[in-house]
Structure 1
């Protein structure tokens, strides 16, 4: 590819998905290219919806069919998870930093698999059919009641069948994003020590109110703003996104109850999902409030109570013991849900110079609409976006992800 022959390049990443974009920039940019990357996020690392997601990662649709480009996305996600874990471990070991230890006090990736109970005869038949097309790297096993209850005692299986994905994982999104940022800093330091001078990385905890204020300062701007992309004046009313606020309830097992969730038990996908954080700590979710514009992760007491009333009956229908657990808090995020296409609900990518104004040439790039599948899509699509920006060539991006512009009048 023909790289950008300019003095600086911006990865504008407001939801930290761009951390992967930045990582690719640092890995693949030419040695003699002076590269200055500034990241703007007014809420800090993982401060938006990405940092509070359920973190259940697998490459399948709700019907357990592989998603669009599932193989590429799945493999890249696993690669980045390993990079994040290695960065957290190496930094803590090398520096003995108490601050680093506190940030990563807990898992980044919980590798216990995900279990999906069959909730109806139709659902069971559909899952059985589609499980035959599973990926070799994330297989799906049809298991009976006894096998499922060996994994999770007291699990309710109305049709005596469940589908187990042993290779699926549960990610702690906040720790993952912080570790991925740390990995980028380590990569930058390593490249500097290897003679790759002129590579800079800066994080700015501040808000950008419009894109034009960045036009003169940077050679490229990547908009990774999630649902808030539609709030920018240049993009307002022009993106085919639906916003949806989701609330996740946090539950803990009271001290006087000894029956813990099994240490090696999988997380659960059903009408409500259970993302296991530990034997005495579970998150359940999620609610769906369409057309919301509230992107605060804080959940008032009344809103949290209503969310729990909605989620707990769904969760207990699968795992009845959850009713013995105690509510300990709630968090929320605003999803950016893309339109449904023949390939499924796909993110919105591509150059948006025409939206911003004249006299731009592949300067402004959009990376949004990942919906509830950001953990799966962000790695591989971040790599493609970085290559497109460096080469000023949108053809690097699959046309399915840029076709949304043809619907804009």
Structure 2
């Protein structure tokens, strides 16, 4: 009988602690992500009938899906087999093309609903991903994670939001006084703001600086988080936490019922693509919204560069700085689109630039010197507005699938434009609910959408 060997054995790295003083974690060598084929009978049969592992399917390999996978592995004390299904692979959807600006505040710098918990758990997952990246430096020849000299995992330069509206200035000032100690908001004047970003336009002589806020490279982060899951599986193979298997299938799932007989639980983390499943189509309070972000570069002969320690910028358009001569500019909002292709036509890119450049130049006039270098797009799943803001949709969806499934089908979607903030904490809660088969572990604010269906 073939012994259990879910992942090719490599030396087990030591997980590194959170390092807040590191300014940037670079990915030094491109590597490619292996896709594991469907489990073979010989491997599957290494579990005897009496100790059959729990088998879970996670649909989606973006922020939500990989967070759930990580926490399922961490919290399960039993033998566990996890299959991830995503037709475009790790970070191939909207998560992989998000802006990557991570902080726990609204546009009026108000702390978001349970923002402290979300912020804390997101930092924990960033730490996990950085540890995986640093420990092996992604030097496996079979992996490809990022390209270009400005590739990084986390850029720690803070985020700056200039005040642009007299109407909201007093509210923003009040909100900024109630910031987290772990993500401070400093009210600064024009001179201080321009010390951070020369020639920045600060029309009201006021800007809000979040020095602990970070800029995450989403694709690189998700690849590293998946690698961390692999490392965890290997570590657990010699522990008392039960045997673990993790498989990635680069394929789509046509409907949920086709998985009913094979899995103990199915967790749907497909973002906007959730609405394309026949059991859920037209039944969720979600709106889709396509967003285009542009990649801009400074020409090598321009003699200019973005300040080495300069923060990213939030305004009517955001600037996510990738390096001294690279930045991402976003984002457009095309409501009710069903186009989830990341590819952007020349016409769509031109329209996006026509919309974004005037917004960006109102705050950062120097953007006009930067050249267009490409564009990507993602289809967001936007949840409805509630008393607590726009909150993701979580819960057991057995009733949507039909029949008595005993807590088999679960939903985690509607992260909107805040997937990076919400994914860590909500992924942890979702994993605990699935493992316990107990929906009451999920805050009622996140399951209340079901009562309206």
Q: State TM-score, norm by structure 2.
A: 0.86
Answering whether residue 366 of structure 2 is matched by residue 293 of structure 1, we say no
Superposed, 1:3-402 pairs within 5 Å as 7-16=53-62, 17-30=64-77, 33-92=78-137, 96-98=139-141, 100=143, 103=146, 106-402=151-447
Compute the displacement of 1:7 (Å): 2.9
Q: For 2:208 and 2:365, how far apart are their aligned partners in 1?
A: 19
Q: For 2:141 and 2:207, how far apart are their aligned partners in 1?
A: 43
Which segments of 5 or more consecutive residues in structure 1 lack a partner in the other structure? none
- 2:24 maps to none
Query: Do the aligned residues in 2 keep the contact of 1:92 with 1:101 (CA within 8 Å)?
Result: no
Compute the displacement of 1:167 (Å): 0.6
SS of alignment partner, residue 319 of structure 2? strand
Q: For 1:292 and 1:172, how far apart are their aligned partners in 2?
A: 25
SS of alignment partner, residue 302 of structure 2? coil
Q: For 2:55 and 2:108, how far apart are their aligned partners in 1?
A: 41
SS of alignment partner, residue 90 of structure 2? coil
Q: For 2:311 and 2:452, how far apart are their aligned partners in 1?
A: 41
Compute the displacement of 1:203 (Å): 0.3
SS of alignment partner, residue 201 of structure 1? strand
Q: For 2:165 and 2:240, how far apart are their aligned partners in 1?
A: 60
Q: For 1:195 and 1:359, how far apart are their aligned partners in 2?
A: 33
Q: For 1:115 and 1:124, how far apart are their aligned partners in 2?
A: 15
Q: State TM-score, norm by structure 1.
A: 0.95
SS of alignment partner, residue 12 of structure 1? strand
Moved more, 192-201 or 99-108: 99-108
Query: Do the aligned residues in 2 keep the contact of 1:277 with 1:283 (CA within 8 Å)?
Result: yes
Runs of 4+ in 1 over 6 A off after TM superposition: none
Q: For 1:100 and 1:322, how far apart are their aligned partners in 2?
A: 34
Q: For 1:333 and 1:65, how far apart are their aligned partners in 2?
A: 26
- Is the alpha carbon distance of 1:321 and 1:99 closer, same or farther for their aligned partners in structure 2, counting shifts above 3 Å? farther
Kindly indicate which of the two structures has a greater share of residues assigned to helix.
1
Compute the displacement of 1:34 (Å): 1.9
Which segments of 5 or more consecutive residues in structure 2 lack a partner in the other structure? 1-50
SS of alignment partner, residue 142 of structure 1? strand
Over the aligned positions, Cα root-mean-square deviation in angstroms equals 1.4
Compute the displacement of 1:99 (Å): 5.2
